[in-house]
Structure 1
Amino acid sequence: MQNTTRTPLNHYDALIYVMVMASAVDNGMSDTELRRIGLVTRSLPIFEGFDEERITDVAHACADILSGPEGMEIALEIIKDVLPARLYDTAYALAVEIMAVDHKVRPEEIRLLQLFRDRFGLDKLTCAALERGAIARYRHI
């Protein structure tokens, strides 16, 4: 496993990995999704203290892992190892947030959410609530 960020991975990195995975799972990272990742890292309290200059390096490190053999499995393990259990629901919420931006949820995105839910041991009710909240936030009139 390669860490191109030159610093030990921390919860910020793990959460960015989650968002990059959520954006890239459908084989494309839209500008809208990338802008949302930037906005999330600048605005949510969980990212207080995060050096925004690192976001590109962290995203590239995640993309490098994902492009390798068994990349998805390795990235999931890294996230689970680095992220405190109390932030698993936050990670899931961030994945849903990034996926909801384009108002379409594709089958591969649903599968990734299932992988996160299973890996983090989240209950279906919590996940459904987080998903429903994203639907409400991104609804058009």
Structure 2
Amino acid sequence: MQFANVLRKRRKELHLTQQQLADKLHVTRQTLSRWENNLSYPNLDTLVNLSEFLAVPLDILLKGDGNLMVNKISQDVRDKDKYKRYLMIVSAIFILIFLWLSVLGYGRASQNEWIDRFNPFGKFYN
């Protein structure tokens, strides 16, 4: 059984509304509705809280048919790592550009000819 079906079935067995369960999990009712309609999945810490509150083992929530949730969570983790790597590369490029411009600015301010020789903007000021 899929995560959405297990969640909906167990919530109804406990005679809880979506709002009541959402309040217990500290999420919005719309978020819970998206989970029950298989439009999104909870993050891992919320999934653990959900498992404890509904008294449903995590492996039943996670495995389901086709392991869709496990695949989705795994993909999210991989995407997060990929974006983190991109952010590090872009940050390094900005830092290098800042350092290069700082060196050029220092060379121009101190009239250091050796540094000024590499300044592509300095030629316009002479």
The TM tier, using the shorter chain, reads under 0.3
Question: TM-score when scaled to structure 2?
Answer: 0.27
Higher CA-based Rg: 2
The alignment's TM-score, normalised by the length of structure 1, stands at 0.26
